[in-house]
Structure 1
Amino acid sequence: MMPASTTVSKAPQAPKATLVIFGATGDLSHRLLMPSLINLTASGLVGDDLSILGIGRAEGDDEWLRTGFEDFQRSNCGEGAIDAGDDRERDAWMSLRSRITYLRGDMTDAALYDQLRTKFDQLDIGNAVFYLATVSQLFGDIAEQLGRVGLLDEKKGFRRLAIEKPFGHDHASARALNERLLALASEKQLYRIDHFLGKETVQNVMVTRFANTMIEAVWNNNYIDHVQITVAETVDVGTRGSFYDATGALRDMVPNHLFQILAMIGMEPPNSFDAEAIRNEKAKVFQAIRGPTADNVNRDAVRGVYTAGRIGDKDVGDYRAAQDVAADSRTETYVALKLGIDSWRWAGVPFYLRTGKALAQRDTEIVVVFKPVPFAQFHDTGVMQLPANKLIIQIQPGEGMGIDFVVKRPGPAIETAPVRMNFSYADTFDIAHTTGYETLIYDMLMGDQTLFQRADGVEAAWHALQPVLDAWAADGEPEPYVAGSTGPRGADALIERDGRRWHGLGS
């Protein structure tokens, strides 16, 4: 039988617009934004009517910024798309290159915004997206200056504000930043970015659930025992000590990346795939999260810090000896949490989250563990406890999906064997050259807010974690773990006291 055909529709080209990047000389712009724009140009999703205006503090002109992007690609990616290899990508860069301009200025100086307004008037710019690829302390100030000079006014076209994470550092600061922004622009103009949501496998969670009857039918507490969400990194803090020591693993990863994945797992089916319908259902999940309380933080929340060790063939130093990290730092580089979702669908189902740096394997995955069969009929073989069925959604590396189930081992006796059925994105689709930002930039230009956070969701996420933040700020030290290990022993104890075990990193 031939497989059913699938209709693939081509997405429309984004409208004419100007993308203004505050912090255009920074790492994010070079490493992710510009490659994404090249990919979008090569695919025809943006046309030759997209202009890029970079803003930074360094001395330079248009050609200086263009050459800087090229030099970065050569030094970090070899002779990549801008010089050789894929003709489409090289041609896309050459087309985009001439539309990149630079405006030098201090982002804390009102004069810069007066210059920017003059430039907009001279060029009669209509549609514009202002992308804040800066330190988070500048988000509110930049927005207020844009509002002061009228650049958030939508009389000539859409005006959108793209804001990178971290969006606040606790519940109070997130609420305060939302209040500042919403005094200047409407919610439909605000695009709070979580780059995890640009990854194809993350977006595929909703499709996997809602397009497959056999999965959605068992997506509840009748069949699911528990859910694990893991974001494990092998990299250490590197040269980001100043930022990381003031932030830590919890603030850096949990209220955004891990909670966004949690919301996709936990949400109810939306009545459509319209942006607001999806964001409404996600907001309900955030509001229903039952996180650790002041009374049980020590039981349901674990923090760790890596000590000197070895990852692969690389020696890794102690976190507290890293550049710009305080010698007496109490900042965590690892966190594990046990959470619940107060809804009929998820009552009694624990969600275990963990994330950390300098771990043994790079692994971002969702593991849905199903309940065991009611009883085992295999008494004669001694198999009284069959291994659990699992759905494993691998986000990175090796994007794909697997199902663990049980089969009969060949032979005359009734013996069981656990097996896995795997699907790999790379075997079917070409996603090797994407950064994850392509979808986010395209959606900003198209006005689709599905993959962006809304004010109420952001605040609810921080609210769920506030008891942990308060408890950790008051006292205690993170538990040490050796770089290259799977994390602190306390994280294993957190899940093992419930009679469960973490899914092996990279397995």
Structure 2
Amino acid sequence: MSINYKDVDEMDNKKVLLTIFGGTGDLAQRKLYPSLFRLYLKGQLKESFAVIGTARRPWTNNTYREVVQKAVASLAQTPEQAATFASHFYYQSHNVNDTEHYVALRDLADQLDEQYQLAGNRLFYLAMSPNFFGTIVHHLESQGMITTDGYHRVIIEKPFGTDYNSAETLNAEITDVFSETEIYRIDHYLGKEMIQNISAIRFANNIFESQWNNRYIANVQINIAEDLGVEERGGYYDKSGALKDMVQNHILQVLSLLAMEPPIEFSEKGIRQEKIKALEAIRIYKEDEVKEHFVRGQYAAGKRNDQTFASYREEENVAADSQTETFVAGKFYIDNFRWSGVPFYIRTGKRLTEKGTRINIVFKQVPVNVFKTSINEPCEQQSLEPNVLTIYIQPTEGFSLSLNGKEVGNGFDMHPVKLDYRNSSEILENTPEAYEKLLLDALNGDGTNFTHWDEVAQSWRIVDVIRHAWDHSTAEFPNYAAGSMGPKEADELLEKDGFKWIWSPDVWYRERGLLD
């Protein structure tokens, strides 16, 4: 794998001590260590940085460094390069509830601060269960680990609470120690290249910004589809479900970027203020309205393209009578001047037809359709497809715009034409991974692509009503076959409004007999 890296100015070199709670975990090995290594290769991290990994396992520094080297092996130009990088990593066996362990951690931190000349800059990454967040931050304070001269910041992984009340309690524990400006609540979707491109497409192109309102847009569709099941996450997922796992964070964050007003200036403060306003304008349904506007599903056994899949209830660590949803489709309304009356449809789920994240902006039809099936005779009008702006987030990146054009030849038959741009494989290969971008933002003290407490709080207020309504009723699960795009009620949700899902990969498979 070849990656083109350019040197950065010495002033961009970050001096920091990064302490990772949960340093032996899957997240650290799959995402954090490769992302830190990319920053190292680009010169953002040079000699003046050190990493402490902490967890319960009784590892040595050598064991830890071997794990780090293995995690970055595919990115390293030579084994020696990986070893040099890993030499900055130190391991501290740690019990988060044991005060004496924080004393040892503080002593190691002070030693490394002096050894690497880190100027007292400390970044703490809590890659652990939220149950430990309050305990950890209070021990960091009481044992004097955040009294150095440099900055002190904490990165927190989702889930941030399980409902509004638990999130509020968790936030109170953390803000007892760190100020809001020092807290970086990570949502890796905000680090994705095309999510960040939403603002560029909107605000840098008058053709879209001038029509980004209810006069011209009929509906907006946000899809985050996964073709995999819950895999080894059955125990966690059965206590969470698609609503909390995807809608409360990723989907509502994307929706706020699409719906926000143009900021006065493109800055952390300006963007955050407008995102919060957009979230606060989302209509919060009454519990008896949830059934009308939201659909939940759970996958049954299914078959696609000669592959057979077990049902959700047959997955490991999932209850045989589970009522956990693996699919959510719904309709949000934003009650403000710009978006009044425009439905924002969302759809996400496990074991769907294809993996993909994409946004469809569906524009209204022309006021008068002058095109008829025959020019010379009075007859019915030709049907016109809507103009659709599609933003492809993953696995492909880019955007397309569908238009109606004339077919080549005699007559005046209309057919859809797509103007399409996709990032090349070379660009994709050299695009910074989401965690790399977000770690660099945290090192720079830039919270633009992290979630503010006000965003988290409002997201939970919106989602809690839906969750409570579902908790008070029993669903008829399973209700969609693995490999499909969800239950038929998700299609009916749009059909009753006169719309349809723009992205329908299941149609292609069914036309070829590859999907039941």
With the length of structure 1 as denominator, give the TM-score of the two structures.
0.92
In 2, the alpha carbon distance for the partners of 1:451 and 1:442 equals: 11
Q: 2:237 aligns with which of 244, 248, 251?
A: 244
Q: Which amino acid aligns with 1:52?
A: V
Task: Name the CA shift for 1:324/1:215 in 2 (closer, same or farther; >3 Å).
Answer: same
CA distance in 1, matches of 2:111, 2:166: 37
1:36-435 correspondence runs (5 A): 36-72=35-71, 80-82=74-76, 87=77, 93-124=82-113, 126-153=120-147, 155-381=148-374, 382-426=380-424, 429-431=427-429, 434-435=432-433
Give the superposition deviation at 1:137.
1.8
Aligned residues of 1:129 and 1:161 also touching (Cα < 8 A)? yes
1:449 alignment partner, SS class: coil
Aligned to 2:514: none
Deviation at 1:313, TM superposition (A): 4.8
Residue equivalent to 1:13: 12
Alpha-carbon separation, structure 2, partners of 1:39 and 1:71: 14
Report SS of the residue matched to 2:64.
Answer: helix
Letter in 2 for 1:250: L
**CA–CA distance in 2 between the matches of 1:163 and 1:226?**
34
Partner of 2:502: 503
Which deviations, in whole Å up to 9, do the C-alpha atoms of 1:374-406 show, x marking residues without a partner?
A: 011112434443100000000001111011111
Q: CA deviation at 1:354?
A: 0.8
Post-superposition Cα deviations, 1:429-456, rounded to whole Å, max 9, x if no partner, equal 3445643111100000000000000011
Q: Is contact 2:225-2:348 (8 Å) kept?
A: yes
- 1:337 and 1:259 mapped to 2: Cα distance? 12
Runs of 4+ in structure 1 off by over 4 angstroms are 8-12, 89-92
1:47 deviates by: 2.1
Which shifted more, 384-393 or 227-236? 384-393
Aligned to 1:465: 463
**What residue is the counterpart of 2:21 in the other structure?**
22
Compute the displacement of 1:231 (Å). Answer: 0.2
Considering only aligned residues, what root-mean-square deviation do their CA atoms show, in Å?
Answer: 2.0
3-state secondary structure, aligned to 1:378: coil
Secondary structure at 2:287's aligned position in 1? coil
**Counterpart in the other structure of 1:3:** none
Does the 8 Å contact 1:486/1:505 carry over to 2?
A: yes
1:156 aligned counterpart, secondary structure: coil
Q: Residue type of the partner of 1:483?
A: A
CA contact (8 A) 1:227 1:366 kept: yes
Matched residue type, 1:318: S
How many angstroms does 1:259 deviate by? Answer: 0.7
Q: 2:495 is matched by which residue type in structure 1?
A: E
**Offset, 1:478:** 5.4
User: In structure 2, what residue type is equivalent to 1:493?
Assistant: E
Alpha-carbon contact 1:336-1:353 (below 8 Å) kept: yes
Where structure 1 has 5 or more consecutive residues not aligned to the other structure, the ranges are 1-7, 75-79
- In structure 2, distance between residues paired with 1:32 and 1:419: 39
The whole-number CA distance in structure 1 between the counterparts of 2:329 and 2:439 is 32
Structure 1 residues 430 and 303: alpha-carbon distance in aligned structure 2, compared to 1, 3 A threshold: closer
**How do 1:426-465 residues align onto structure 2 when only pairs under 5 Å count?**
426=424, 429-431=427-429, 434-465=432-463
Deviation track 1:74-105 (CA, whole Å, cap 9, x = no partner) reads: 6xxxxx223xxxx3x86753431110111111
- Matched to 1:197, the amino acid is L
CA contact under 8 A between 1:403 and 1:422: conserved in structure 2?
yes
Q: 2:439 & 2:71 partners in 1: Cα distance? A: 21
Query: How far apart, in 2, do the equivalents of 1:409 and 1:365 lie?
Result: 28
Verify the 8 A CA contact 1:363 1:505 in the aligned structure 2: no
Q: Between the two proteins, what is the percent identity of the paired residues?
A: 39
Following superposition, the deviation at residue 136 of structure 1 comes to 2.2
**Deviations, residues 207-236 of structure 1 (Å, cap 9, x unaligned):** 111111111111111100000000000110
Unaligned runs of 5+ in 2: 1-5, 375-379, 509-516
